[in-house]
Amino acid sequence: MFTALLSTFLIGLFFSPHLSNSKLGIHLIGRYTDGAKKIISSGPRVIKALDPQASGDMRKAIRDYKTSYPKGVVVMRVWERTPEVHYSLEDDPIMCADDFWRRVLEPAVNALSPEERKMIDYLEGPNEGETTPTWNSVETARWFGRFWERLALHISRAGFRPCIGSIAVGNPPGTLEELRAKLEAFLPALKAAKQYKGAWSYHSYSLAYSTDPEVEKWYSLRYRLFYDFLKEKHPDLANLPMILTEGGIDKAGNPQTDGWQARGDERKFQEWLKWFDKELRKDKYIIGVTLFQIGNPEGWSSFDLEPVALWLAKYLQENK
């Protein structure tokens, strides 16, 4: 009896079942590292896993997270391994969405067990325009909106919430007027996201460790320009949730030279993350950010979160 009481006391002392009030989370790739386990145990509000259907480690991370924090949010992304999955403006966006669902997403979610599928809250689609037209023009934005309107339907019918867009940092590009015109063209996708209780996604990076909101509104905080547009032109969509499904420090995407490690140190990154979290908490429509990345230091050495994992776990705990 005494042993059981002591065990319960120790669990309560070192582990809180409540999600953190911080909006910092993690993007897991490949391995479920010691650092990732510490962060998961600290209750981030949102995590993202790449290809859990192909990785026992990713499935274990999701199980650990949802077992401890049933109300936490899990985003699943599937890597488009098939080289032929690539679409152009001349292709029909509806047929392309059907094809992407059939060849990329449907096999991945079907590879999960029914119990594992229940642990996935949001399902992403194509990443950053790597396989589809996106933001080069109003015409491509309109194509992308029709594509996502259809793909969101497939995702919803499969029992998931769509997380649409996966918009790369600095996009949609152009002047404020051009940005707004492209968002207007993308509107069918936003309406579908709302209809299916989904969210949309932006990749929220600072290029230069800036903590000036007037600078960062074009980069890590660019999403605020999106919501200014919605509040003015489409107030019915102004409360659509957003998940920042990548985030951190990135100059131009080079895995070895452009991440936080290559251009700063742990202290500098930690201070920027605290500033960033403070800004995100001001925006109720932001569910959180999944910082890129943990689990694949070989592929993304300058972005690897393992060196700051203990600090991040402690920060999440302290903000409960």
CA–CA dist 86, 178 (Å, integer): 26
pLDDT digits (tens, 9 = 90+) for 75-95: 999 998 777 899 999 999 999
CB atoms within 10 A of CB 137: 17
Please determine, for residue 10, whether its predicted confidence score (pLDDT) is greater than 90: no
pLDDT at 16 (0 to 100) = 57
Alpha helices per DSSP H over the chain: 2-14, 34-41, 56-68, 93-100, 106-110, 114-118, 138-157, 176-185, 187-195, 213-216, 223-233, 266-280, 309-318
d(CA 137, CA 200): 20
Q: Is the pLDDT of residue 29 over 60?
A: yes
Q: Cα torsion for 68, 36, 218, 22, to the nearest 10°?
A: 40
Q: What is the DSSP string of 189-241?
A: HHHHHHHTT-EEEEEEEESS----HHHHTTTTTTHHHHHHHHHHH-GGGTT--
The CATH class of the 16-318 domain is alpha beta
Q: How confident is the model at residue 17 (pLDDT cuts 50, 70, 90)?
A: confident
Sketch the domain layout of the chain as residue ranges: 16-318
* Mean pLDDT across the chain: 94
Q: What is the mean pLDDT of residues 101-112?
A: 97
pLDDT of res. 13: 39
Kindly tell me if the per-residue pLDDT of 117 is higher than 90: yes
Mean pLDDT, range 133-154, rounded to an integer:
98
**Which helix H or strand E contains 287, and what residues bound it?**
strand 286-294
* Range name among 1-5, 23-27, 109-113, 253-257 with the lowest pLDDT average: 1-5
Q: What is the pLDDT of residue 14?
A: 43
- Residue 1 has a pLDDT of 40
